[in-house]
Structures are given as structure tokens and as C-alpha cells.
Copies of this chain bind each other. A is one copy, B any other.
Amino acid sequence: MLNLASDNVVGASKPVLEALIAANDGAENSYGSDQFSTRAEEMLAEIFEHEVKVFLVSTGTGANALALSALSPPWGAIFCHEESHVIDDECGAPEMFTDGAKLVGIAGVAGKITPEALERTLTRYPKGVIKAVQPAALSISQVTEAGTLYSLDEIAALGATAKKHGIFYHLDGARFGNALVSLGCTAAEMTWKSGVNVVSFGATKNGCLACEAVIFFDPKQAETFAFRRKRSGHTVSKGRLLGAQMVGYLEGNHWIDNARHANAMAQKLANGLATTPGAHLPWPTEANEVFVILPAKVHTALAKADIKAAPWASLSLPPNIHVREGEAFWRFVTSFATRTEDIDHVIGVAHGA
């Protein structure tokens, strides 16, 4: 079986696992005061070219929900794409961690929201009107749920809108590395230079076993975070588990290499699927995810060949694209572990169908 349903079906990449092994011996302070967690924070400060407060946790849902809880009161409105991970795929974690804030979904093609749509939505949540939940934060996903990317200009434009309205700006970077290498920009440009206040810096999907960093650029916004993390059970006692993974992940640009490889595999797959008769890709492949609508005989052939992808559905298809009777809408995700021959195999089966 070839499993391309997600980038979380594989284990850790070699350098990450080795870092974990190397960190295992000896005594370390617990609860995040270990040398590895400390080193990870330093490395991230260098990478982001900014003072940072870093909190490591073991899941993306934990990272996002905790980050948002630091940005919104219980009566806050958090604006996000109507199909974002925070609104659709976390079983209400942001609501739990914020004690009931409202996630307001905004429609938009290709998983992206525009400043205009955000502006329009904001008019429904006037500041100071007591009966309405109050604008608190904007949260975008980079890479989006459609596998697409916001350009730097788009991120900055949304940041300007957020700033104008006095709301915080969170970036869900579950696939931060994949986005970064694809845009070819710096981590600083993709975040604080574009107005982002807090980042969920994902490492699990791109090489770690379980490690995500919540990164604040303003220590004031992070003041309550240690309590929030502890109280939600996300402060790992043997903190080296997280610290060592993150150090191994960042060291020697390993994370960049992993992301570049995954993206290249996705691009190769996209090219192969695009030329499959009857198949069409609703969105450009801009990171490590390929979304494709497949004709019946192709998805049957792939299934028969034991190639696993994720069945998909979306509200943000381009207006002219539809999934017709008999067709299947699938998502393929590549990772650091995807091999060229895997992709060749998928394309071969698809083309031979």
C-alpha cells in the first residue's frame, strides 16, 4: 500500500529521530526548562530574525487553540476561512480554549479570504455593540486547506486590515515550511513583517513525530500563555521530547530540505495527474498537497493498486469546477518520505487506467 492520504501517516525524518535519541541520556529540568527547548527558542529567534516567545506543544490543534485563546476573550469573534482547520477539523478546540469565542467563517475561493471579504464581515460585528461578539482576531492558514498559498502581498494586506480594525493576526502554519520554500521568502517576511502576531509553527507534518511551536513576537501577548499551556495539559513533563525534536528539525536547515523535497514530489504528482485524461485540478499545487477530480476509471484503478489518498469535498471550488457523477475528488499529500518512484507509480497507474 502507498499511503498519500496525509503527511502525518509517516514517522519522523532521520535527523529528527537522531536528535531525539541523542537527547535521551542524562538529567534535564522538566516542563520545558530543558536545554533543548531553550535552544529551540534561540534557533527560532534567529530564523524569524526577531525576539520570540516560544511554547512547544505536541499537536497542531493544541497549538492553534492555545494561540487563539491568547488573542480573544470569550466574547470575541475570530475570523477565518469557512473551511479552515480551526473551524472544521478541531472538534471545537478553539471554542473550548477561548471559553466560547465565536469562529466566524468567511467564504473564499481556493481556501483564501480577501481583505474585502474580511471588511464586509467585520461590519456585522460592530465594536462596542454589546449584543454582538467583539472582533478579536483574524486567523489564516498558510498553506491553506486548498493547498494554496497566500502571497506576501496578500498576507500583508490582510494584516493591514486586521491592524486597522484593532484585531490580532494569527497564522496557522501547520505546513509553514512547505509554504516558505514555495514562496521563497524569509520566515520574517511571511509573518511579523506582514503584520502577523502569533504563529502556529508546525513541525510534525514535515519531519517531527509530534512537535509544534506557538511563536509570539510580542512578549506581552504571551504573558498568560504558560498558565494556559499547563492548564490544558499541554506542558510535557519531559520537555526534551519536544525540544530535541525541534532542534533536530531546524538544525542545518533540515526542515527546509524536507519541505523542498515534499513540494517537489507534489509538483511532480500534479504534473502527472494534470495530464491524466479526464482529471482536473481545481487549484494550483503550491505546496505539498495535490487536489484532483478524477474520472471513475482512474480512481478505481488507483484504489485497486492500493494507493491511498483522502476523499475530499470543498465549498471553495472555483465557480466553473464541479465534481460530477462518477468522479471522485481526492487529496494527495507528499512528505519528506515520499519517493520519486512512489510518484511515478501513482502517475503510471493513473495514466494506464
Contact = CB atoms under 8 A, between A and B. Distances in A.
Interface stretch (A88-96, A189-197, A291-299): A88-96
Contact of A131 (B91, B96, B132): B91
Contacts of A89: 131-132
Contact of A59 (B1, B97, B124, B237): B237
A231 B93 CA distance: 4
A133 interface: yes
A17 B21 contact: yes
Interface in A123-165: 123-124, 130-134
A236 B59 contact: yes
A234 B92 CA distance: 13
Interface string A234-262: 11111011000000000000000000000
Interface stretch (A61-69, A109-117, A263-271, A273-281): A61-69
Instruction: Indicate how many identical chains form the complex.
Output: 4
Nearest to A237: B8
Interface residues of A, number: 74
A31 interface: yes
A102 interface: yes
A10 B27 CA distance: 5
A317 interface: no
Given A6-B30, A17-B24, A240-B11, A59 B131 contact: no
A231 B75 CA distance: 7
A46 interface: no
Nearest to A6: B30
A229 to B, nearest CB: 8
Given A11-B23, A74-B96, A227 B130 contact: yes
A348 interface: no
Q: Which of A2, A9, A204 has the most CB of B within 10 A?
A: A9
A96 B100 contact: yes
A224 interface: yes
- Residue in A99, A131, A228 with the greatest tally of chain B CB atoms within 10 Å: A131
B91 A238 contact: no
Nearest to A98: B100
A230 B130 contact: yes
Contacts of A8: 30, 237-238
Given A59-B237, A100-B100, 12 more contacts: A1-B27, A9-B30, A11-B23, A31-B130, A59-B235, A61-B233, A62-B232, A62-B234, A73-B227, A74-B99, A92-B100, A92-B133
Interface of A: 1-3, 6, 8-12, 17, 20-21, 23-31, 57-63, 65-66, 73-75, 88-93, 95-97, 99-103, 123-124, 130-134, 204-205, 209-210, 224, 226-228, 230-238, 240-241, 313
